[in-house]
């Protein structure tokens, strides 16, 4: 369970971020991957060299460094979200002529090689995404991806039984299952939702009046399923006042995500584990800055790719996301 959005300011800065909702234990860390960093393709054992440096949130476990989201030096950003019941990866028989990339490495691969959505489109023609068990769940995680660049263009990448597809994402929102086209069609069910108060109505001799403000939003869903989260964030991001600058934009992004942030105990899985929001993170794709907060520390932390970058042959860790809470006293 995760939700992702893009949001642009009046200054045309593009912001991109997500909630990380998960029922398995993870210990996320902020990394910088240097330009020209060489890493091993887990499927082919061949060396891959990154064209661009990037900063991303991920986790290193059992020798594998997998990323959940990130932004590179060119302002290209992307995130991985769960896609249960719909993801279907390639097999060896139908992808021999393409470079095989595991689903766990795909985000690392595109962040290291793409400067724009156009370049992403070109790269997708020549790769095949295959499933690989991850060290956290010990299963082949069903995934799909959302990507954007500093122009604000946004796409969704889904590998299903129909093949590898990339969809233009004009709404700038993504959640989990069903597929992206289903979510976009489902928005039509909420065509009457509005930020404007509905008018009084008369049923026979009975005068009906709205209960205070927000009557135009009564049809909005209130649960935490993927379709409900998609609708809520789509409505909010398309109706929120356009932020004037980067500070207003970051505040707006986190406010939007508050409606889909899941506290512990609200959603419990069949394994009797809590599915809750581990962290919420946004990036300014124009400045390559990260802003994040965690479940246990809601103070927003900021990190810059360029301020923390240094030449290295290895990933640079900026530390765990979980940090000690410090209250400001007055």
Residues catalogued as catalytic: 2
Query: For residues 289, 293, 298 and 304, what is the CA-based torsion angle, rounded to 10 degrees?
Result: -20
Which stretch, 36-40, 123-127, 231-235, has highest mean pLDDT? Answer: 231-235
CATH code of the domain covering residue 190: 3.60.60.10
pLDDT for 55:
98
Is 327 contained in some domain?
A: no
CB 23 within 8 A of CB 85: no
312 vs 33 pLDDT, higher one: 33
182 is in which domain, residue-wise? Answer: 2-320
Rounded Cα distance, 82 and 148, in Å: 18
Q: What is the pLDDT of residues 65-85, one digit of tens each?
A: 999 999 999 999 999 999 999
Is 59 contained in some domain?
A: yes
- Residue 51 has φ and ψ, to the nearest 5°, of -80, -35
pLDDT for 134:
84
Out of 41-45, 183-187, 226-230, 241-245, pick the least confident: 41-45
pLDDT for 38:
93
CB 114 within 8 A of CB 77: no
Q: CA of 14: how far to CAs of 6, 57, 153, 168, 173, in Å?
A: 7, 19, 9, 16, 14
Identify whether 254 is preceded by a cis peptide bond (ω within 30 of 0).
no
Rounded Cα distance, 38 and 235, in Å: 42
CB 160 within 8 A of CB 129: no
Spatial neighbors of 117 by CB under 8 A, at least 6 apart, are 76, 147, 148, 149, 151, 153, 154, 155
pLDDT for 246:
96
Query: With 90 as the cut, is the pLDDT of residue 92 above it?
Result: no
Is 326 contained in some domain?
A: no
Query: With 90 as the cut, is the pLDDT of residue 169 above it?
Result: yes
Number of domains in the chain: 1
CB 313 within 8 A of CB 49: no
Is 262 contained in some domain?
A: yes
pLDDT band (50, 70, 90) for residue 61: confident
Q: Region 47-70: what's the mean pLDDT?
A: 93
Count other C-beta atoms under 10 Å from residue 240's C-beta: 14
Tell me the whole-structure pTM to 2 decimals: 0.94
Rounded Cα distance, 149 and 28, in Å: 24
Q: CA of 288: how far to CAs of 17, 34, 149, in Å?
A: 12, 14, 11
β-pairing verdict for 127-130 and 54-61: unpaired
Q: Region 95-116: what's the mean pLDDT?
A: 91
pLDDT for 44:
85
Collapsing DSSP to helix, strand or coil, 181 comes out as helix
pLDDT for 2:
96
Is 101 contained in some domain?
A: yes
How many helices (DSSP H) and strands (DSSP E) are in the chain? 6, 20
pLDDT band (50, 70, 90) for residue 175: very high
CB 283 within 8 A of CB 72: no
Tell me the average pLDDT of the chain. 94
Q: What is the pLDDT of residues 208-267, one digit of tens each?
A: 998 889 999 999 999 999 999 999 999 999 999 999 999 999 999 999 999 999 999 999
Environment class of 43 (CB within 10 Å of its CB; exposed 0-12, middle 13-18, buried 19+): middle
Is 135 contained in some domain?
A: yes
pLDDT band (50, 70, 90) for residue 135: confident
Tokens of 57: 């949130």
Is 329 contained in some domain?
A: no
pLDDT above 90 as % of the chain: 84
pLDDT for 3:
98
pLDDT for 62:
81
Q: Region 260-280: what's the mean pLDDT?
A: 96
Is 198 contained in some domain?
A: yes
Out of 133-137, 153-157, 324-328, pick the least confident: 133-137
């Amino acid at each position: 369970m995760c939700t992702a959005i893009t949001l642009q300011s009046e200054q045309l800065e593009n912001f991109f971020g997500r909630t990380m909702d998960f029922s398995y234990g993870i210990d996320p860390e902020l990394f910088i991957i240097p330009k020209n960093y060489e890493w091993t393709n887990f499927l082919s054992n061949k060396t891959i060299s990154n064209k661009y440096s990037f900063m991303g949130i991920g986790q290193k476990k059992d020798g594998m460094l997998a990323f959940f989201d990130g932004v590179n030096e060119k302002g290209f950003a992307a995130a991985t979200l769960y896609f249960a019941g719909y993801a279907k990866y390639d097999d060896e028989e139908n992808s021999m002529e393409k470079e095989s990339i595991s689903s766990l490495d795909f985000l690392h691969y595109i962040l290291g090689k793409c400067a724009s959505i156009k370049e992403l489109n070109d790269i997708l023609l020549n790769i095949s995404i295959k499933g690989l068990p991850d060290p956290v769940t010990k299963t082949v995680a069903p995934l799909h991806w959302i990507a954007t660049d500093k122009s604000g263009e946004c796409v969704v990448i889904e590998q299903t039984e129909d093949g590898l597809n990339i969809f233009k994402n004009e709404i700038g929102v993504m959640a989990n299952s069903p597929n992206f086209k289903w979510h976009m069609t489902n928005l039509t069910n909420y065509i009457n939702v509005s930020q404007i108060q509905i008018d009084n109505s008369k049923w026979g001799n009975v005068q009906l009046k709205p209960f205070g403000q927000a009557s135009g939003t009564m049809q909005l869903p209130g649960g935490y399923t993927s379709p409900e989260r998609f609708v809520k964030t789509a409505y909010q991001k398309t109706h929120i006042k356009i932020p004037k600058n980067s500070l207003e934009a970051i505040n707006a992004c986190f406010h939007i995500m508050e409606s889909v942030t899941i506290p512990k105990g609200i959603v419990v899985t069949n394994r009797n584990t809590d599915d809750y929001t581990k962290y919420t993170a946004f990036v300014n794709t124009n400045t390559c800055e990260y802003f994040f907060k965690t479940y246990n520390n809601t103070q927003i932390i900021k990190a810059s790719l360029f301020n923390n970058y240094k030449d290295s042959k290895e990933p640079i860790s900026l530390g765990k996301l979980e940090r000690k809470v410090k209250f400001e006293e007055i």
